[in-house]
Amino acid sequence: MSIVSWLKRWWLDDEDFDEEIRAHLAIAADERMADGADRRTAHFASLKEFGNVMLTTEAARRVWTPRWLDALRDRVSDVRYAIRALAKNPAFSLTVVGVLTLGIGLNAAVFTMLKSIALTPLAGVDGSARLAVMFGETSTGRQVRVSYPDYQYLRDHDSAFSGLFGTALVKANLGRGRGARQIWGEVVTWNYFQVLGVRAERGRTLLPSDEIAAGRHPVIVLSDGLWRRDFGADPDIVGRTVEINNDRLTVVGVADPTFYGTTVVYDVEVFIPVMMAPQLGFKFGSQQTTPSGILSDRRAALFYPQGYLRPGTTLANAAAETDTLWVALSRDRPLTDAAERLRVVPFSQTPNGAPTFLLPTLGVLSAMGLLVLLIACANIAGLVLVRGMSRRGEIAVRLALGATRARIVRLLIVENLVLAVPGAVLGVLLARRGIPVLVGYAERLAAPERVFFNIEVDSLVIGFAALVACLCALVFGLVPALRSSRVDLVSVINEDASPRGAARGRLRAGLVVAQVAVSLLLLVGAGLATRSVEAARRANPGFDASQVTAIAVDVKQNAYDESRGRLFYSKLLDAARADPGIESATLAENLPMGFLDTRAQRVAIEGYEPRRGEDLAFMSNSVSSDYFRTLRINLMAGRAFEDRDDETAAPVAVVNNTLAQRFWGGAVNAIGKRVRVGEGDWRTVIGVVADVKYSRINEAPRPYLYLPFLQSYRSSMVLHTRGAAPVDRLVEQARAHVAALDADLPILYARPMSEMRRGALLLFDLTATMLFIFGVAGMALAAMGTYGLVSYTVKQSTREIGIRMALGASGLSVVRGFLARGLRLGAVGATLGVVAALGVSRLLGSVLFGVSATDPTSFARALAVVLGGVTVATIVPAWRAARTNPLSALWHQ
């Protein structure tokens, strides 16, 4: 059977059929002519007898078309009709498409981020969300790391875990001389890669033999990114040496390209076996110890052990088992100041971990996204309702002509779908474009720190968001569509207020109220977020970063020993201070507002007996003379460090106000008292300075100590200079001073100090930006929706307006009447919104700063905007209606 004849079995052969009909007509005409009719009459008579040729052909064709094709053709004509109907009302159609685009786009973006951080926090690690993390907790609730000996014990005895590895984030200096730079590295136990299931792209990962003795195997694993960027993807990389902290390590492998370490936010570039930590001089944890003590001292807190639980083990079981082990260990081998208990938490709650910061924020954002979607749905429902009502006439005519109600509803649903599909497509595009933009924005904010988020445009998530939004649109469009189809023919024809008018009014009023309420909620959220950022920016961090530079160097990178280092730094300060463009110059080990806490050390206060289990570990900073003057930190009592506080002089310290208040009851009382940091000398307190925000803008006041640099040498310091010139010039100036002393010394960074605060504000900035976008989008949607509904109500009442004005009512009173009605709805919505906002804004607590969750200003602003929107949405159409000639209003319908 040829293709053609096969097709003929499935489709009507049109030509053949036409010929058959012509033959039929010819035969019929011939018979008539045989009966005596003339040719013309015969021809027309047979045509007439035959009937409608087109219809017949169509019917014959339908015999051959399969049912589904037939149904499809029906749908296509529905769609075609819907497009035609929607094209007639482009404002409505574009609005709905826009609303959906925004709703889907925002939600898809937020869900993608939430899903990434919550479910796949680590790139290149399957099931990374299932990782469990262990940490110690002191009696005061401080979270502490676990020492290497304790880790070993837990690894060998804790049967709740199928494997337990340790990792600690470090900043490693890569290379030597000018080309050296600081990169993120992880100091890891050998089984790190094994437990995570990360393979080597080249060479190998780590082996048990890499963890036998300190310094025995100087090896390193590189990240794929580092291998490509710094080594040109050298195929012979395995066996080459790289320099880390001036020590040579042999590359044994390159990790899988999908793997970026376990920090969730940073792009970790090297993985170093823990046995190399003492030799490379990394510093960890809260206890001072000798370098070799890192691996042997039980008080040297090193890392949070983590791993996967054995199948069938719950987190609670693991926590109980781990804690039992810990209690037994503490009893057998007691240790002062040990963590009171060990806790096991899911990876997302890692102490100081990125997910711990990010997830609450993303949760808030998701909630906001859902609210926007809710508004979008209410909006669509309103628009469909209004449209359905303005098409009452058309629908009535269709019903009168015999269309079934199902058919009408189907048509309206098809119209909704025709709107939903482009909305969904655009929304998906928006999300696909928007997510990389957002991630890029975060990366730029973090530069020059290398960050990496495992946030991928996930088609499944985006598709799901689009599907949900379309379903919402359908469902929300269906209710009004059903209502529209229930047109009372008589009432439409009589142009009368139907008894159902009241019910429709209620739906309309409900939609207005709902939109006002939800938009108020969004606006309050956006307002609170914006005010938080303002507050965080305005907040006094306790120091003045403007006109101050920060130039970081580590003289160890050029193999300086302590005496050469001291000389270098003293020359550097002298040179800077001799510069007429520099008002003051100083050195500091740590920058304030560095986002992450720096090392806290145990502190002894003379004459103060710590309560049992009291946790006295505070952060400290090694600074040179002029530090407080350069950063404009207020000196409250005593004196600041001077150059005479050197290694030959009596040991001294400066404490902050919180410490002085807590132990001596005041700044003045603190002068002359003695403190000891770690295992060091007893130091006399010579000064008390005001508190500073040491890590984050929203931290609580905490005790802090400053030690004179000359009595506590560090190889890695930051030079701060203050001057009157533009800050970028100041940076170049300071950089030149460093280069003049040692042109080969790598500068780790050289930036205006104000830029260094960005990290501390990053999360606020991002959250606030998103919340602001959501607030504005939600408000815009709600305003459009409210305007549409109200103006439609007004339009519906054109007759009423006409009658009232014909009876002598003034335009003003008409407007006033509508305004009262509109504001009544607005007030109900606003009240509901305020109640809801009061209820849920407390959840925003984690992302707020400096404003209370019930901040009256934010509420007042939101109320003003919402009620203003309702007023405008009412007045404009009412005024327009009132201006129309009463007579024409009456004629209108």
Is residue 71 involved in binding other proteins (CB under 8 A)? Answer: no
Is residue 475 involved in binding other proteins (CB under 8 A)? Answer: no
3-class secondary structure, 149: helix
Distance CA 763, CA 695 (A): 13
Integer CA distances (angstroms), 643 to 404, 574, 626, 648, in order: 95, 11, 9, 11
Scored b (16 or more CB within 10 A) or e, 434-451 reads bbeebbeebeebbeebbb
Nearer to other proteins, 24 or 566 (CB): 24
Is residue 20 involved in binding other proteins (CB under 8 A)? Answer: yes
Is residue 23 involved in binding other proteins (CB under 8 A)? Answer: yes
Is residue 51 involved in binding other proteins (CB under 8 A)? Answer: yes
Closest among 200, 188, 214 to 272, alpha carbons compared: 188
Distance CA 144, CA 158 (A): 19
Beta carbon of residue 60, minimum distance to other proteins (angstroms, whole number):
5
Among 21, 497, 690, 872, binds other proteins (CB under 8 A): 21
H/E segment holding residue 529 = helix 501-538
Beta carbon of residue 24, minimum distance to other proteins (angstroms, whole number):
5
Beta-bridged to residue 620, according to DSSP, are 705
Is residue 27 involved in binding other proteins (CB under 8 A)? Answer: yes
Residue 188 near residue 247 (C-beta atoms within 8 A): no
Residue 198 near residue 125 (C-beta atoms within 8 A): yes
Integer CA distances (angstroms), 590 to 351, 356, 706, 769, in order: 21, 24, 10, 29
**Around Cβ 81, how many Cβ atoms within 10 Å?**
14
Is residue 69 involved in binding other proteins (CB under 8 A)? Answer: no
Which of the ranges 51-59, 468-476, 596-604, 710-718 carries the binding residues for other proteins, by CB under 8 A? 51-59
Restricted to residues 215-254, the positions that interact with other proteins (CB under 8 A) are none
Among 55, 213, 316, 502, binds other proteins (CB under 8 A): 55
Token pair, residue 141, equals 């609730």
Distance CA 166, CA 303 (A): 6
What DSSP string runs through 182-232?
EEEEEEE-TTHHHHHTPPEEEE----GGGGSSTTT--EEEE-HHHHHHHHT
Which of the ranges 13-21, 422-430, 455-463, 649-657 carries the binding residues for other proteins, by CB under 8 A? 13-21
Distance CA 173, CA 149 (A): 27
Distance CA 893, CA 881 (A): 14
Among 7, 18, 41, 62, binds other proteins (CB under 8 A): 62
Is residue 607 involved in binding other proteins (CB under 8 A)? Answer: no
Residue 508 near residue 385 (C-beta atoms within 8 A): yes
Beta carbon of residue 70, minimum distance to other proteins (angstroms, whole number):
9
Nearer to other proteins, 21 or 809 (CB): 21
Which of the ranges 11-19, 121-129, 422-430, 874-882 carries the binding residues for other proteins, by CB under 8 A? 11-19
Residue 198 near residue 256 (C-beta atoms within 8 A): yes
Nearer to other proteins, 58 or 495 (CB): 58
Nearer to other proteins, 56 or 598 (CB): 56
H/E segment holding residue 706 = strand 704-708
Token pair, residue 823, equals 């504001």
Beta carbon of residue 13, minimum distance to other proteins (angstroms, whole number):
10
Beta carbon of residue 394, minimum distance to other proteins (angstroms, whole number):
22
Nearer to other proteins, 50 or 682 (CB): 50
3-class secondary structure, 701: coil
Beta carbon of residue 20, minimum distance to other proteins (angstroms, whole number):
5
Among 14, 18, 49, 496, binds other proteins (CB under 8 A): 49
Number of residues in contact with other proteins under rule CB under 8 A: 24
Nearer to other proteins, 22 or 644 (CB): 22
Among 6, 44, 50, 682, binds other proteins (CB under 8 A): 50
Is residue 28 involved in binding other proteins (CB under 8 A)? Answer: yes
Nearer to other proteins, 30 or 606 (CB): 30
Among 37, 45, 60, 843, binds other proteins (CB under 8 A): 60
Is residue 56 involved in binding other proteins (CB under 8 A)? Answer: yes
Is residue 403 involved in binding other proteins (CB under 8 A)? Answer: no
Beta carbon of residue 22, minimum distance to other proteins (angstroms, whole number):
9
H/E segment holding residue 3 = helix 3-10
Is residue 24 involved in binding other proteins (CB under 8 A)? Answer: yes
In sequence order, what are the residues at sequence separation of 6 or more whose Cβ sits closer than 8 angstroms to the Cβ of residue 714? 589, 622
Is residue 11 involved in binding other proteins (CB under 8 A)? Answer: no
Helix, strand, coil shares of the chain as percentages rounded to 5? 55, 15, 30
Beta carbon of residue 74, minimum distance to other proteins (angstroms, whole number):
10
Which residues sit at the interface with other proteins, rule CB under 8 A? 9, 12, 16-17, 19-21, 23-24, 26-28, 30, 49-52, 55-56, 59-60, 62-64
